[in-house]
């Protein structure tokens, strides 16, 4: 039996999570493993019901669970609230509370979706299979921030980026170990020509590379990496980077794969408890219309089976099912192409679940 904390959140969150649960239910039957879901509040819906973006009960139950399945949070309704009261504060809070410092974001271009990619076919030669490893609980999103009124008029605001040796070493280890299981190529992305934090990252990661002689380490500045991802994405395998750079680069990488709606993620700490969520937001512009792509969330559930439950074969079942449904030309509107059959969120989830035999 596995206990899954489910946070559906706001916007398209409930629709995509419902789709992922449909798939989990089929896996549960096939592998004779009961999944017990506890639905919890976080984000805008939690603010409306409890006044807080992350109620204590949500943290407590997540901590006692085997995995957390998360939709997405946020929306225009809550945009005017101060930073620490916004739905996104819940997101940062749960990552911190569960100490999930390593965010794994695979960007894989299914061959069936080459047409949906933002890039020209000649740029997409070879395989696009990139794993972005993003540090998730440090850096500028968590550093000291403030705003003051200036006597001369106007205001001044600041956010601080800070990293300790410990924080860098533990995520770098995930980077090396992950690269080792893939093509053994690791690219550290930083801004060491300008930022002191990046210089510390580079020093530590270069030193640690002596322990991983089988992994080829390259370093690249973040601006150059942003450019190279568009110019020659096939050169990348595993990218290791800090919180904000990883946030931005993984959204960019999603465009290689056709849609933000295709990219899953796993956030892991030292144990097996992880948070699994699509990389996209709550997409308020399409919420409630049954048109959101559930594949990112369904692929996140595959990562849950792989990393938290050690159910590799079940994870593979889901990934194969997604591929088979794409083979049969079914598409949600964000990845639609000529001659394809357009389906909604519910139908796409059903098709994937039905492919798991």
Residues belonging to the active site: 141, 191, 223, 247, 251
State which residue, 243 or 282, has the beta carbon closest to ligand NAD: 282
Give CA–CA dist 109/128, Å, rounded. Answer: 5
State which residue, 103 or 198, has the beta carbon closest to ligand NAD: 103
Contact 68, 304 (CB under 8 A): no
**Any known ligand binding at 292?**
yes
Q: In the window 272-331, what residues touch ligand NAD (CB under 6 A)?
A: 277, 280-286, 292-293, 296
Q: Which of 42, 55, 88, 331 binds ligand NAD (CB under 6 A)?
A: 88
Give CA–CA dist 27/315, Å, rounded. Answer: 9
Count of CB atoms situated within 10 Å of the CB of 354: 14
State which residue, 72 or 243, has the beta carbon closest to ligand NAD: 72
Tokens of 14: 């409930």
**Any known ligand binding at 143?**
no
Torsion of CA 173, 176, 178, 183, to 10 degrees: 180
Instruction: Tell me, by CB under 6 A, how many residues bind ligand NAD.
Output: 23
**Any known ligand binding at 20?**
no
* Site track for ligand NAD across 207-246, x = CB under 6 A: ----------------------------------------
**Any known ligand binding at 288?**
yes
* Site track for ligand NAD across 240-259, x = CB under 6 A: -------------------x
Question: Could you tell me the smallest distance in angstroms from the CB atom of residue 70 to ligand NAD?
Answer: 7
Contact 168, 208 (CB under 8 A): no
**Any known ligand binding at 284?**
yes
**Any known ligand binding at 138?**
no
CA torsion through residues 166, 142, 218, 173, sign: positive
267 binds ligand NAD (CB under 6 A): no
Q: Which of 91, 172, 189, 340 binds ligand NAD (CB under 6 A)?
A: 91
Q: In the window 328-357, what residues touch ligand NAD (CB under 6 A)?
A: 334
State which residue, 192 or 302, has the beta carbon closest to ligand NAD: 302
Q: In the window 7-36, what residues touch ligand NAD (CB under 6 A)?
A: 12, 16
Element (H, E) at 315: helix 312-327
**Any known ligand binding at 357?**
no
98 binds ligand NAD (CB under 6 A): no
Give the strand pairing for 102-108 and 129-135: antiparallel
Tokens of 93: 């809070």
Give CA–CA dist 272/237, Å, rounded. Answer: 24
Buried/exposed code over 319-340 (b: 16+ C-beta within 10 A; e: otherwise): bebbebbbeeebbbbbbeeeeb
75 binds ligand NAD (CB under 6 A): yes
Q: Which of 258, 261, 264, 344 binds ligand NAD (CB under 6 A)?
A: 261
Tokens of 211: 């322990």
| Binding piece for ligand NAD, criterion CB under 6 A, among 70-78, 109-117, 186-194, 318-326 | 70-78
**Any known ligand binding at 82?**
yes
74 binds ligand NAD (CB under 6 A): yes
Tokens of 126: 């070879």
Contact 137, 240 (CB under 8 A): no
Contact 139, 162 (CB under 8 A): yes
Buried/exposed code over 44-61 (b: 16+ C-beta within 10 A; e: otherwise): bbbbeeeebbbbeebbeb
Give CA–CA dist 73/213, Å, rounded. Answer: 41
State which residue, 144 or 285, has the beta carbon closest to ligand NAD: 285
Question: Could you tell me the smallest distance in angstroms from the CB atom of residue 276 to ligand NAD?
Answer: 11
Chain residues that interact with ligand NAD, rule: CB under 6 A: 12, 16, 72-75, 88, 91, 259-261, 277, 280-286, 292-293, 296, 334
- Give the residue ranges of the annotated binding site for Mg(2+): 223, 247, 251
- Give the residue ranges of the annotated binding site for NAD(+): 75-88, 281-293
């Amino acid at each position: 039996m596995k206990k899954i904390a489910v946070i559906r959140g706001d916007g398209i969150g409930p629709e995509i999570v419902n789709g992922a649960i449909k798939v989990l239910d089929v896996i549960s039957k096939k592998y004779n493993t009961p999944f017990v879901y506890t639905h919890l509040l976080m984000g805008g819906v939690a603010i409306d019901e409890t006044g807080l973006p992350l109620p204590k009960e949500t943290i407590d139950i997540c901590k006692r669970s085997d995995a957390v399945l998360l939709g997405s949070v946020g929306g225009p309704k809550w945009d005017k609230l101060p930073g620490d009261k916004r739905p996104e504060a819940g997101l940062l809070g749960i990552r911190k509370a569960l100490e999930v410092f390593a965010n794994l974001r695979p960007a894989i271009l299914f061959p069936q979706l080459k047409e949906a990619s933002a890039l020209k076919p000649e740029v997409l030669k070879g395989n696009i299979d990139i794993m972005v490893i993003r540090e998730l609980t440090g850096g500028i999103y968590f550093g000291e921030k403030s705003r003051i009124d200036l006597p001369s008029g106007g205001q001044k605001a600041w956010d601080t980026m800070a990293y300790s040796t410990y924080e860098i070493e533990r995520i770098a280890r995930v980077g090396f170990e992950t690269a080792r299981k893939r093509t053994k190529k690791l690219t550290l992305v930083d801004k060491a020509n300008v930022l002191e934090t990046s210089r510390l990252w580079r020093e530590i990661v270069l030193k640690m590379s002596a322990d991983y002689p089988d992994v080829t380490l390259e370093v690249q500045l973040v601006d150059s990496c942003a450019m190279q991802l568009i110019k020659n994405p096939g050169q990348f395998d595993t990218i290791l980077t800090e919180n904000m750079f990883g946030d931005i680069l993984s959204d960019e990488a999603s465009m290689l794969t056709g849609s933000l709606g295709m990219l899953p993620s796993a956030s892991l700490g030292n144990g097996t408890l992880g948070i699994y969520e699509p990389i996209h937001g709550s997409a308020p512009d399409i919420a409630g219309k049954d048109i959101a792509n559930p594949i990112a969330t369904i692929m996140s559930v595959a990562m849950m089976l792989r990393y938290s439950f050690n159910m590799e074969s079940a994870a593979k079942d889901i990934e194969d099912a997604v591929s088979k449904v794409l083979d049969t030309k079914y598409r949600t509107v964000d990845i639609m192409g000529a001659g394809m059959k357009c389906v909604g969120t519910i139908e796409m989830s059903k098709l994937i679940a039905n492919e798991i035999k």
